[in-house]
A and B are shown apart, each in its own frame.
Chain A
Amino acid sequence: MTAAAETLRLFLVEAWGALAGGLVILGMLALLVQALRAAGAVVIGARHNLADAAAAAAGFLVILLFGLMGVPELAGAVKVTATGCAPLADLGSAAAVIIGAVAGMRMLLSIVRAAAAAAVGGNGIAPALAEAAESMLGMVLASAAGPLAAHFLGIC
């Protein structure tokens, strides 16, 4: 079981690297698009479009920085070590790692969705923050379910 959990964890580690790299690539392209929008606005004398492009670029940078710096801290801070009792200890710790990994991936994926929405002028940060909070809460609940059930059933 722990070997299977380790395989799954390694898969999620590679997926995390790919998503983080994709986020950086998306960020650079989106900033260049905003620069192009701003240049077009300057040429035709559209002040509001220029301000819009500058605000969009700044907002996009904030989303990127939150995703690259905040999400790993959140995922690491809420990582709960679910300790099972003697028969379930290995299963409990393996489950805790996988639950933390899945929640972290979900948070990073929500940031990628928010960045993609912001790149085309949509609103993405609010749903991303809500999904991050939902992931953390789900992670805590899932981590607590096993030990609670074991105590309820009298296994521990």
Chain B
Amino acid sequence: MFDPIMDKLTEIAADAWLFLAGLLVMVALLGGLFFTLQGAAGAAFGGSRSTSIAILGAVGIVLLVLFAFLVIPQLGELLRSLQPAPPF
């Protein structure tokens, strides 16, 4: 009875997922570019703090993107497997 509604919802959710994933990639790329610029500028005038912050930021962005694209789908599979049968 609810299958057509769920199909439509799943379609919308898939589009939303692609949109959010695309946004995340864009933010990560721009962030990586920013940190590269910051690190290069720090290296150019000998600012070690600036360079190390840039490196840490870039590593953080990479870890976040890896978390988003590797861990979240696995969490989704886990949640789907935990989907309960009706207790009535």
A65 to chain B, nearest CB (A): 7
Separation of A97 and B86 alpha carbons in the complex (Å)? 12
Interface residues on chain B, number (Cβ under 8 Å):
38
Closest to B57 in A: A42
Closest to B27 in A: A39
Q: Digit string of A61-73 for contact with B (CB within 8 Å is 1, else 0)?
A: 1001100110111
A33 within 8 A of B: yes
Most buried by B among A15, A39, A68, A97: A39
Q: Digit string of A7-25 for contact with B (CB within 8 Å is 1, else 0)?
A: 0010111111110111011
A-B contact count (CB 8 A): 111
Q: Which residues of A contact B21 (CB under 8 A)?
A: 32
A28 within 8 A of B: yes
Main secondary structure of the interface of A (DSSP, over half): helix
Q: Which residues of B contact A73 (CB under 8 A)?
A: 87
Q: Which residues of B contact A18 (CB under 8 A)?
A: 2, 5-6
Interface residues of chain A, those whose CB is within 8 Å of chain B, are 9, 11-18, 20-22, 24-25, 27-29, 31-33, 35-36, 38-40, 42-43, 45, 61, 64-65, 68-69, 71-73, 75-76, 79, 97, 100-101, 104
CB-defined A-B contacts under 8 Å, sample of 11: A17-B2, A18-B2, A20-B83, A24-B83, A29-B17, A29-B20, A36-B23, A39-B31, A43-B31, A43-B34, A68-B79
